[in-house]
Amino acid sequence: MKLTSTASRKLAALSLDEIKEAQQEASRQFEEFKARGLSLNMARGKPCVEQLDLALGVLEALHARSEFANSNGDDCRNYGVWNGLPEMRAIFGELLGIPDDLIILGNNSSLQMMFDCISQGYTHGYSGCEPWCRQGDVKFLCPAPGYDRHFAVTEYFGIQMIPVPMLKTGPDMDLIERLVQDETVKGCWCVPKYSNPTGVTFSDETVRRFARLKPAAKDFRIMWDNAYCVHDLTDEPDQLLNIYEECLKHGTEDQVLIFASTSKISFPGAGVAALAASKRNIDDLKLRTTVQTIGSDKLNQLRHVLFLHDADGVRSLMKGHRRILEPKFHIVLDALEQELGGLGIARWSHPHGGYFVNLDVMNGCARQVVALCKEAGVVLTDAGATFPYGADPNDSNIRIAPSFPPEEELREAMELLCIAVRLAATEKLLYERAE
Ligand SMILES: Cc1ncc(COP(=O)(O)O)c(C=O)c1O
């Protein structure tokens, strides 16, 4: 029996014999796949070679150039300009909708800037409060599924993580509003646009509720990681409300730290990262930053400015990314629809941008699906990685990263993934019926 032909019938509604038949079919297909000896990797959301080629102009921008001064006359080859090139700050300023003088440029990684901000809270504190390390047990809110590296940073500092469910509108704000009444809760991670991995963009109301939060802790910080702020994949991109402007309306601007980078605009690992924050936070951060470094890599910032020119330059470059990424997202979504649609054994996101498709399989099946794929040569993000401490309470979430593999390989990997989902689901149903 070919399961795709029963698309209108839920798998759980089939008779025992039909499920057995479906399991045998999936098992046979799986063995066939294993024999192909594949070696594919869909574990991380990395741009593919063609995307990286779009930004080769960055490397050429300084070639044979004799003029290295920025608009203020600072020589970009030398030390100085602690907060980064004004022209590059202006680009981030426009993309994020935040005044340029509230932006600090880092080096190649916004994650490193996030790490530094958590580190600063931990060792020196915010808003004149005791450092977190002297306040006993402190906690962070972690909307989940979320970005595993956020959770890794939090865990590294021994900060207790509290998972908060992600809804279609963003994190569960009722829960967040309750949890921040606890003074030991010091912050919340957010990927507000095309969230990693759910693809959700926070609704206007969610952004307003974040801006209106009145946490018990004065040193509470929202880590607003806007990594996918310009990473649209459709003609109707999601619109994210400007949290900084909303915070200004309520006098809460000190409680948000905003991050972005060109990692998925130019080069991951060799782009430019940025942090935007209130004047008071910038002053606090300056105290650390100017001890930590005599200045970020201004030559890299200069070559990015020469290549990108301005925010419109970024937007037009992102259209090139979309031309490469959109067909890959379609491959993933078409495979899911054709192979799993209507079976009632999986749900998935239809993101308008970002880097991921979020797949939820039957409870208790995610680890098995990821293990099956690995056995047949396709590496996915570890099941559970999208939850604090790697603990997915339902063992159901799988992150699909379509960007890196070539289209043909992606098709193959998706075929295998769908077979693995069906195999795990049929085995689970057979087990349940045998009980
Ligand atoms: C949500 C999110 N934030 C940050 C990063 C890493 O950013 P950067 O390269 O600027 O450190 C990623 C990379 O996948 C990401 O998904």
pLDDT tens across 92-123, in order? 999 999 999 999 999 999 999 999 999 999 99
The distance in angstroms from the start CA to the end CA of the chain is 25
Q: What is the pLDDT of residues 27-76, one digit of tens each?
A: 999 999 999 988 998 888 999 999 999 999 999 999 888 889 888 889 99
What average pLDDT does this structure show over 358-366? 98
Q: What is the pTM of this model?
A: 0.96
Cα 319 to Cα 232: distance, rounded to the nearest angstrom: 8
How would you classify residue 374: left for phi > 0, otherwise alpha for psi between -120 and 50, otherwise beta?
alpha
pLDDT for residue 24: 97
**Six-digit token string for 310:** 């301005």
Cα-to-centroid distance, 300 and ligand 1 (Å): 18
**Which pairs with CB-CB distance under 8 Å and at least 24 residues apart come from 94-99?**
94/310, 94/311, 95/229, 95/230, 95/260, 95/311, 95/314, 96/226, 96/229, 96/242, 96/244, 96/258, 96/260, 96/274, 96/276, 97/242, 97/244, 97/245, 98/242, 98/244, 98/258, 98/276
What pLDDT was estimated at residue 65? 83
Identify whether the C-beta of residue 378 lies closer than 8 Å to the C-beta of residue 21.
Answer: no
pLDDT above 90 covers a percentage of the chain that reads 93
Q: In the structure, which protein residues have their CB atom closer than 6 angstroms to any atom of ligand 1? A: 45, 109-111, 147, 191, 196, 225, 227, 261, 263, 268, 273
Give pLDDT tens digits for 367-426: 999 999 999 999 999 999 999 999 999 999 999 999 999 999 999 999 999 999 999 999
Amino acid 64: pLDDT: 80
Ligand 1 atom 15 nearest Cα: 227
- Which residue, among 46, 32, 42, 44, has the nearest Cα to 374 in the 3D structure? 42
Residue 382: closest CA among 152, 223, 199, 202: 152
What would the pLDDT profile of 243-297 be if each residue is shown by its tens digit?
999 999 999 999 999 999 999 999 999 999 999 999 999 999 999 999 999 999 9
- Atom index in ligand 1 nearest the CA of residue 109 equals 11
* The pLDDT value given to residue 5: 40
Tokens 């063992």: give the residue.
395
Look at residue 71 in the predicted model and tell me its pLDDT: 82
Nearest ligand 1 atom to the CA of 108 is 10
* Closest CA to ligand 1's atom 13: 45
Kindly tell me if the per-residue pLDDT of 155 is higher than 50. yes
Which of 117, 149, 200, 355 for mutating ligand 1's site (highest number of atoms within 8 Å of CB)? Answer: 149
pLDDT at 1 over 70: no
Tell me the pLDDT tens digit for each residue of 3-32. 444 444 799 999 999 999 999 999 999 999
What's the CA-to-centroid distance between 431 and ligand 1, angstroms?
40
- Cα gap 262→8, rounded to integer Å: 44
Domain ranges of the chain: 3-51+315-434, 68-308
Q: Name the band, by pLDDT with cuts 50, 70 and 90, for residue 2.
A: very low
Pick the closest to residue 350 from 371, 339, 373, 334 (CA basis): 334
Q: Give residues with Cβ within 8 angstroms of 125, minimum separation 6.
A: 131, 132, 219
- 68-308 topology per CATH: Aspartate Aminotransferase; domain 2 (3.40.640)
How far is residue 104's CA from residue 133's CA, in Å, rounded to a whole number? 25
Instruction: Please provide the average confidence, as pLDDT, over all residues in the chain.
Output: 95
What pLDDT, on the 0 to 100 scale, is given for residue 72? Answer: 84
Burial status of residue 131 (CB atoms within 10 A of its CB: 0-12, 13-18, 19 or more): middle
Q: How many Å apart are CA 19 and CA 269, to the nearest integer?
A: 47
Digit-coded pLDDT (tens) for 248-259: 999 999 999 999
CB count, 10 Å around CB of 356?
26
Query: What are residue 168's phi and psi, to 5 degrees?
Result: -65, -20
Residue 322 confidence (pLDDT) above 50: yes
State in Å: Cα 14 to ligand 1 middle.
Answer: 43
Q: How far is the CA of 110 from the centre of ligand 1 (A)?
A: 7
Cα 111 to averaged position of ligand 1 atoms, centre (Å): 6
Which pLDDT belongs to residue 67? 87
Inter-residue contact 420 to 359 (CB < 8 Å): no
What is the average pLDDT across 314-341? 98
- Which of 134, 128, 139, 133 is CA-nearest to residue 161? 139
Q: How far is the CA of 230 from the centre of ligand 1 (A)?
A: 13
Ligand 1, atom 14, lies closest to the CA of 45
Architecture of domain 3-51+315-434: Alpha-Beta Complex (3.90)
- Of 59-68, 185-194, 232-241, 381-390, the one with minimum mean pLDDT is 59-68
Å from CA of 269 to ligand 1 middle: 10
Q: What is the pLDDT of residue 35?
A: 94
C-alpha distances in Å from residue 234, one per residue of 109, 157, 217, 314, 405:
27, 38, 40, 16, 21
Cα-Cα-Cα-Cα dihedral sign, residues 232, 362, 377, 5:
negative
